[in-house]
Amino acid sequence: MTREKDRYHHGDLRAALLAAAEAVLTETGVEGFSLRAVAKRVGVSHAAPAHHFGDVQGVLTALAAEGFRRFLAAMQARQAAITGGDAEALLVASGLGYLDFAEASPALFRLMFSSVRPREETPELSAAARDAFGHLAADVARLRGVSPFEDSAAMEDVMAAWAMVHGVAELFISGRLKPMQTMTRAEREATVASLLKRSLARAPGGTGQR
């Protein structure tokens, strides 16, 4: 079953390249990302990555896909940390996991959500993104007792919660949410929970859309 180390010329170059790529991404952002810098960091020739990922877009696509998987894991981890929570508490936990990820890996977060470089149509990436979205949808389904895909009001709940937590995440890692930057961690989480609950408060009458 082919141990990771001591085989081939390098070992497991693909994984090593991905790790180095994330490091480069973190240091330089998507805009300054360089394939040659990744190769140099691993100590391999500048053209080696092409054999595993095709081109630079391939590397960024694989990175984004792995990002979505870890993103989902961050939400699940927050949920696993609470014991006797109701459906709303579980949804709030997902939101906090959402923010955990964005805060821990802002460059990766932006690559996933605000970049045109990864190939969106790739099966691996679109599946990983769909799973992450599905997690939020499932949270709302549990809360409302109905699938968002069959109930437009529940779908509006999904959009509301998602947009709210995503907006907070984006603005926060951009340093534009000044009031939240000065809070303690506990204060911040309480505020985020409060904001998320707002997003679940259905307006009287709702949208009126089908």
Partner DNA sequence: CGAGCATCCTGACGCTGTCAACATGATCTT
Partner DNA sequence: AAGATCATGTTGACAGCGTCAGGATGCTCG
Q: Given the rule CB under 8 A, which residues bind a second copy? A: 29-31, 110, 113-117, 120, 129, 133, 152, 155-156, 159-160, 162-168, 170-171, 174-177, 179-180, 183, 187, 190-191, 193-195, 197-203, 206-209
Residue 26 interacts with DNA (CB under 7 A)? no
Q: Find the shortest distance in angstroms from Cβ 160 to a second copy.
A: 5
Q: Find the shortest distance in angstroms from Cβ 195 to a second copy.
A: 5
Q: Find the shortest distance in angstroms from Cβ 82 to DNA.
A: 42
Contact partner, 94, from DNA, a second copy, none, Cβ < 5-8 Å per class = none
Contact partner, 50, from DNA, a second copy, none, Cβ < 5-8 Å per class = DNA
Contact partner, 64, from DNA, a second copy, none, Cβ < 5-8 Å per class = none
Residue 27 interacts with DNA (CB under 7 A)? no
Angstrom distance (rounded) from CA 70 to CA 66: 6
Contact partner, 90, from DNA, a second copy, none, Cβ < 5-8 Å per class = none
Contact partner, 117, from DNA, a second copy, none, Cβ < 5-8 Å per class = a second copy
Q: SS3 string of the chain?
A: CCCCCCCCCCCCHHHHHHHHHHHHHHHHCCCCCCHHHHHHHHCCCCCHHHHHHCCHHHHHHHHHHHHHHHHHHHHHHHHHHCCCCCHHHHHHHHHHHHHHHHHHCHHHHHHHHCCCCCCCCCHHHHHHHHHHHHHHHHHHHHHHCCCCCCCHHHHHHHHHHHHHHHHHHHHHHCCCCHHHHCCCHHHHHHHHHHHHHHHCCCCCCCCCCC
**List of residues contacting DNA (CB under 7 A):** 2, 7-11, 13, 33-37, 39, 44-48, 50-52, 55-57
